[in-house]
Amino acid sequence: MGFKEIMIASETQLKEELGIKELGIRLSLKEYCSSQNKSTTDVHDERELKKQKLISELMESRRNIGNSSSKVKKAESKKTEKKAATHNVQMGWIHNDVRVGLEKGGGTREMKASVDCSYHELIDAGRKWFFPDGRSSFGTADNMKFGLADFKRQPLTKRDGDAEITLGAYAQKNGFKSRVRLYMTSDSRVEEVATSSSDEDPVSWEDPHTSTPLVTSNSVTDSSLKGTSQERLRLKDEQDKTYRESLAMDIKKRDDRVREQLLETDEMEKITRQE
C-alpha cells in the first residue's frame, strides 16, 4: 500500500493485509502517511507555482520584445519622414544692400535643402555659389560680413530663443509648405558692420505663390547643407542600432535563464515521480 491507500484503509484492512495487530502502531502509521502525503503535495504545489512564475516571465519577455520592436519601428518611421523632409530654396545675393545680378556673379540659385539646415549652413551654401574659391567681383569672402535676408530683403535672425534657427522651423512658423526664397547678404563696409541689423529684427518668408526667374547653379550642390544634418542622422542611426543589439542580448540572456530554470523544475518532477 502507498501513503494514500494506508490513509483511507480501514482498521480491518491494516490488520489483515499488513498484519498490524496493535492499534497504537496502526494509528501511528496513518499519522505518518498523512504527514508524508501533505509534504509531497506541498512540494508539488511549490514547484508548480515556480514553474508558472517562470512561464509568466518568459511570456512577459516576449511581450517586451514586441513592444520594443514596435517602438523602434515607429521611431525609424518618423526618422525616415524627417530625412525625406526638404524645402525648395531659392537664394539670391545682396551686397552692400544692392541686389547682385547674374552678370556680376549673382542671380538666383535653387536647391533642395533639409528642414534641419541651420542659418550658418545656408550661408555656407551661398558663399560657395557666389564666392567660388573665396572670391567675387566685389572682393574676397574673408573681408565680408555675411547674413541672410527674407524675400523682402529684411535681415533674418540667427537664433530663435536659445537655439539656432532652422529652415524647417521658419517654414512651419509662417505656414509655408515647400518653397522658400531668401537672400545671402554680404557687406564689405567695415565701418558700418557694428551698426548693421541686430539679431532681433523681425522675420518673414516669401509667399509660396510668388515666382522669380531662376538660374540653376551646376558648380555648387547642396551637399554642404546636408553634411551636418546627415552626420546627426548617422550618429542617431548608430545609437539606435547599439540600443537594439543591447536589448536583444539582454532579452536572450533572460530567456535562456528562464528556460534553464524550467528544465531544472521538470527534472525535479521526474526525479520525484521515480522516487
In tens, the pLDDT along 212-268 reads 344 444 444 445 455 556 676 777 777 778 778 877 887 888 777 877 777 776 665
What is the percentage of the chain residues whose pLDDT exceeds 70?
A: 62
* 171 and 244 part of one domain: no
**Grid cell locating 1:** 500500500
* 144 and 183 part of one domain: yes
In a domain, 91, yes or no: yes
Candidates 146, 115, 123, 152; CA nearest to 226 is 115
33-51 pLDDT per residue, tens:
777 766 565 555 667 777 6
Total domains in the fold of the chain: 3
Amino acid occupying residue 179: R
Q: φ and ψ at 145, to 5 degrees?
A: -105, 125
In a domain, 68, yes or no: no
59-92 pLDDT per residue, tens:
777 677 666 666 666 666 665 555 558 888 889 9
* 41 and 133 part of one domain: no
d(CA 146, CA 126): 10
Return the CATH number at 124.
3.10.20.90
Give Cβ neighbours of residue 205 (< 8 Å, ≥ 6 apart).
150, 151, 170, 171, 174, 176, 180, 181, 182
* 38 and 100 part of one domain: no
Task: Give the helix/strand (H/E) hosting 135.
Answer: strand 135-136
pTM: 0.43
In a domain, 215, yes or no: no
Domain extent, residue 263, equals 236-274
Domain termination residue (choose one: 57, 78, 100):
57
In a domain, 67, yes or no: no
